[in-house]
Structure 1
Amino acid sequence: METLLRGQPGLEVVGTGGVAPEVFSRIREVLPDVVVVGASGEEQEALLSRLFLEFPGLKVVCLNLDDNRIRIYYHQMKVGRQVEDLVEAIRQPLEWGGPRPATMRIFAIVQGRYGQRIVENIRAFGPQGWTVESWRPPDLPALLDDPEQYLPLHVPPADLILALGERPAVAQLIPDIARRADARAVIAPVDHLAWLPEGLIRQLQERLRRLGVEAVFPRPFCSLTEDGYNLRHQRVAYSNPWISEFARHFGRPVFRIRCEDGVVKAIEVERDAACGCARFVAERLVGVPVSEAVHQAGLYHHHYPCLAGMTIERSLGDTLLHLSGQLMRQAVEVEVAPLLPRAAYLVPKGRSEAR
């Protein structure tokens, strides 16, 4: 690597070092513009984590000899792409946070009906510039001593990983799949806490952070918006163009409803639930009296059916199934509320209605 770089016009190799603690002192002495890392796997993850911790804003180029890929990292966020030339990777300007992605490559991990329904809905109604590939993992033990042996033989390049597994063991594969796919972001919905426990979420967040991959864990999936997820006091904000682009089309339901003569005449689904429930509800609300629309939306949500968990979440005081239904009803209510009659009530004598 050193031989390749020395003598290149405009490039100066100011130092080299092995994978040892003293290399960080050397970096601090010379303060390079770019650090090139020739390591892979867990060794690469550990180096990246410490580099970003000690040198915020440093540009890091990783030459991965295992798969002949070059990855570029900046401010703990992966912004690179596969390139053929190491010198090009060092020279090229960083581009991140610009216009929203015009295309998106999605790799989905599915196990059963829950994930398959989501994949089919995204394929059917996602933007034309999206491609969606899916993979069904084999039967897995509860604990994976060596996750590598359970990974697919080929992981296609992807911008976004959708982790739709139905067992914690599947979630353990997410970081390795994200690394192989050179992914920019991960969405791992929590529609059943048993599928993705909070302790495992924290582990995944740390491992993905080391890889420079943004990850969100919406609970339920249909709480995801373009800048945050979760409900009530657990609301979490994020900033990632790939996740935001996905959430423009799938996440917390948003409708545009037209009513005439007290009846729902037409509904446009501005943002569908990832599973397709919002579109299902919208198709059945046409012709329903406005006064019944909110209630009927809740019924149709259950009839779809919603596959979120039915056990009470202590931190939320409710089931994810019920909370998901509330989001669906609220999406309808915000559109029809101006047309609903105000509830009648008594105003005590001598008091004004306005307060």
Structure 2
Amino acid sequence: MRVGVVLRGKYGRRAAKEISEFFEVYTYELPQNLPEIIDEPEELNFPDELFECDIIVSYALHPDVNYEIIRRAAGKVKYVLLPGGAKSGSKKQLEELGKKYGVNVLVENICCATPKIDDPEVKEFFEKFGMPEFEIEVENGVIKSVKVKRSSICGSSKFVAEKLVGMRVDEAPAKAGYFTQIYPCFASRGIDGKIHRAAHIHKRQVEKALRG
């Protein structure tokens, strides 16, 4: 399986590194500074190699760029993943565009909320990446080991797993949420920041693993 990752500035580099541990990765880097509105997105100089991938993960964080990626992916790319929520464009419009061009489009505020996709052509990717899954070994009330069975694309799940080893079981879920928030994730911060949802997801998934 080949995965294309569209980079922009600091965004997408960790994801490309994480994905490359399991799959062939092709990266294409956009200019960091793009105009707010791109009047003629069809003139964007995307290489053909990007659209030879099975999946494209776009960190363009720009609606016009993502619309053009979906348009050009028609008949070539199976899935286009768009982390970044509203910065990536209107979820409804992006999904409708995907239907128009026969491309499966997933728009997520945070990559650790990505669901499993039971599609034989891409199943392997979604078994490795998306909403985290852990396998935890406990000895005398203390976490002995944590295996990441499924990781967030950004790598935060692996960071959380490493930090939980040696911790008491009763404090592990809350700490999982805390460690998610101190990982250099690019989810929005503040009172209504999406980082809080990411923290809750990791807390809940650790609780689930501890229940067995």
TM-score, normalised with respect to structure 1: 0.55
1:196 corresponds to which residue?
Answer: 88
Q: Percent of counterpart pairs with the same letter?
A: 31
What is the one-letter code of the residue matched to 2:152? A
What is the one-letter code of the residue matched to 2:80? V
User: 1:192, CA displacement in angstroms?
Assistant: 4.4
Change (3 A) 1:275 1:153: closer
1:184 aligns with 2:78: yes
1:269 aligns with 2:138: no
Structure with higher Rg: it is 1
Residues matched between the structures, number: 210
Change (3 A) 1:134 1:142: same
Q: 1:324 aligns with which of 160, 185, 198?
A: 198
Note the residue ranges of structure 1 that are not aligned, 5 or more in a row. Answer: 1-103, 228-238, 313-317, 339-355
Change (3 A) 1:277 1:326: same
Q: Is the 8 A contact 1:226 1:243 kept in 2?
A: no
Q: Partners of 2:19 and 2:134 in 1: how far apart?
A: 18
User: 1:272, CA displacement in angstroms?
Assistant: 0.7
Q: Give matches, 1:16-165, under 5 Å.
A: 104-124=1-21, 126=22, 130-138=23-31, 139-156=33-50, 157-165=52-60
Q: Is the 8 A contact 2:181 2:196 kept in 1?
A: no
1:251 corresponds to which residue?
Answer: 130
User: 1:337, CA displacement in angstroms?
Assistant: 4.5
Note the residue ranges of structure 2 that are not aligned, 5 or more in a row. Answer: none
Q: Give matches, 1:269-308, under 5 Å.
A: 269-308=148-187
2:104 corresponds to which residue?
Answer: 214
User: 1:311, CA displacement in angstroms?
Assistant: 5.2
Q: Is the 8 A contact 1:140 1:169 kept in 2?
A: no
Q: Is the 8 A contact 2:6 2:12 kept in 1?
A: yes
Q: Partners of 1:117 and 1:256 in 2: how far apart?
A: 23
Q: Is the 8 A contact 2:79 2:103 kept in 1?
A: yes
What is the one-letter code of the residue matched to 1:326? H
User: 1:243, CA displacement in angstroms?
Assistant: 4.9
- For the aligned residue pairs, the C-alpha RMSD in angstroms reads 2.2
